[in-house]
């Protein structure tokens, strides 16, 4: 039986297994792997320090490891996982999208967004997505395959390296936030996503040493997986992509709703909030004349008020060929006002990256 959160709704197309990488392994597994190569177990910590701490997978830079051992360790534990197809920037370079090609030709995206006070990276957890939400570009293309833990981690490690080395306009910087809002449904690739969170938040030399509080996992609402996540003892933020307060509409906008209803999804989210100590973020893409009526705002407010949740409204980023578009400004204002009248904290997300096909999955779709 699949573990909760490992449910797949469409059979993955690509089945080629990514090569094993240091970031797939726990610290104990890394020591075993190094020993199996005939090396001293402490080489595992040296490699970890190079990769997670200095962002370097170039054996020439590992001067604390005998030259004869470097190539062997590199081949076995730090294979090249992905290559950059291209970077596309906008907002005077403050937004940079990377299109990656994985070892089997699969394409994924990540986006780096620079703000005056923070730097956020949006990463992919799967190549494609099986959730089939009709307004989302990734949803239209279906699921290629799950990313490995290391394929998730490397998007961030490479982004941190680029930031440190001043490759992103605005001078050298540190990463402050990670959002699992790129391609894929993170909770449908549960084990590898949680593994990635551990690698990213374990202290050095075992991991990158980022704060769990700066990580947001965004989900369509896979209820058993939310319960499981609540038991991990993490302090990451959970974002729930609600998009409609009523089951009738949500069944069409987020098809997995036919399996787990609005009430069940929110109950699981409140449990997560209680156990993690973090406020839930409710994501709501405003789609003109579809889900942006004031009565729906009122209904949404009644569902979430008093729970400490925050509503994040996202003006729809229309995907090519879609009949849907963003709400009229006056409807958006009325929606915000209705939520505020109930005392529900609400923000309208800035819509960065539209001109670089920043909407989830658009860049990879254009490449195909």
Footprint on this chain of ligand SAH (rule: CB under 6 A): 131, 133, 135-136, 181, 185, 218-220, 241, 283, 285, 314, 316-317, 319, 359-360
Least separation in angstroms between residue 117's CB and ligand SAH is: 22
Per-residue buried b or exposed e for 191-227, using 16+ beta carbons within 10 Å of the residue's own CB: ebbbbbbbbbbbeebbbbebebebbbbbbbbbbbbbb
Active site amino acids: 109, 360
Q: Is 136 annotated as a binding residue?
A: yes
Q: Is 129 annotated as a binding residue?
A: yes
Least separation in angstroms between residue 223's CB and ligand SAH is: 14
d(CA 342, CA 80): 51
The answer to whether residues 23 and 150 touch, using CB atoms and an 8 Å cutoff, is yes
The answer to whether residues 353 and 323 touch, using CB atoms and an 8 Å cutoff, is no
The answer to whether residues 94 and 82 touch, using CB atoms and an 8 Å cutoff, is no
Q: Is 122 annotated as a binding residue?
A: no
Cβ nearer to ligand SAH, comparing 48 with 319: 319
Cβ nearer to ligand SAH, comparing 48 with 138: 138
Q: Is 133 annotated as a binding residue?
A: yes
Least separation in angstroms between residue 170's CB and ligand SAH is: 25
Cβ nearer to ligand SAH, comparing 73 with 300: 300
Considering only CA atoms, give the Rg of the chain.
21
Least separation in angstroms between residue 37's CB and ligand SAH is: 37
Place of tokens 């605005």: 170
Q: Is 243 annotated as a binding residue?
A: yes
Q: What are the helix (H) ranges across the chain? A: 27-36, 42-48, 54, 67-77, 137-141, 149-164, 190-201, 223-230, 247-253, 262-276, 294-304, 329-341, 362-367
Cβ nearer to ligand SAH, comparing 153 with 253: 253
Binding residue positions for [4Fe-4S] cluster: 129, 133, 136
Residues making up the binding site: 129, 133, 136, 184-185, 218, 241-243, 317
């Amino acid at each position: 039986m699949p573990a909760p959160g490992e449910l797949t709704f469409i059979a993955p197309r690509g089945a080629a297994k990514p090569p094993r990488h240091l970031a797939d392994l726990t610290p104990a597994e890394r020591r075993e792997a190094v020993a199996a190569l005939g090396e001293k177990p402490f080489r595992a910590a040296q490699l970890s320090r190079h990769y997670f701490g200095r962002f370097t997978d170039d054996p020439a830079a590992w001067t604390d490891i005998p030259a004869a051992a470097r190539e062997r360790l590199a081949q076995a534990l730090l294979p090249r996982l992905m290559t950059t197809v291209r970077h596309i920037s906008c907002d005077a370079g403050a937004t940079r999208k990377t299109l990656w090609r994985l070892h089997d030709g699969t394409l994924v995206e990540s986006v780096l967004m620079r703000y005056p006070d923070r730097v956020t990276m949006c990463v992919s957890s799967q190549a494609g997505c099986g959730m089939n939400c009709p307004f989302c570009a990734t949803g239209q293309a279906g699921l290629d395959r799950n990313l490995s833990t290391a394929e998730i981690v490397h998007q961030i490690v490479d982004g941190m390296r680029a930031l440190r080395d001043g490759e992103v306009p605005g001078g050298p910087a540190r990463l402050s936030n990670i959002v699992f809002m790129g391609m894929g449904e993170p909770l449908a690739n549960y084990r590898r996503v949680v593994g990635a969170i551990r690698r990213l938040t374990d202290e050095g030399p075992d991991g990158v040493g980022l704060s769990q509080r700066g990580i947001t996992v965004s989900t369509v609402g896979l209820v058993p997986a939310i319960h499981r996540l609540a038991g991990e003892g993490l302090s990451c933020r959970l974002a729930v992509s609600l998009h409609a307060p009523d089951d009738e509409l949500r069944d069409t906008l987020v098809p997995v709703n036919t399996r787990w209803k609005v009430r069940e999804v929110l109950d699981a989210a409140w449990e997560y909030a209680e156990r993690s100590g973090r406020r839930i973020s409710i994501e709501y893409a405003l789609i003109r004349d579809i889900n942006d009526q004031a009565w729906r705002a009122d209904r949404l407010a009644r569902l979430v008020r008093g729970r400490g949740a925050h509503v994040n409204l996202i003006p729809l980023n229309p995907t090519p060929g879609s009949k849907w578009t963003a709400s009229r400004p006056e409807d958006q204002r009325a929606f915000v006002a209705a939520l505020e009248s109930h005392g529900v904290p609400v923000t309208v997300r800035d819509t960065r990256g539209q001109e670089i096909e920043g909407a989830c999955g658009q860049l990879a779709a254009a490449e195909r």
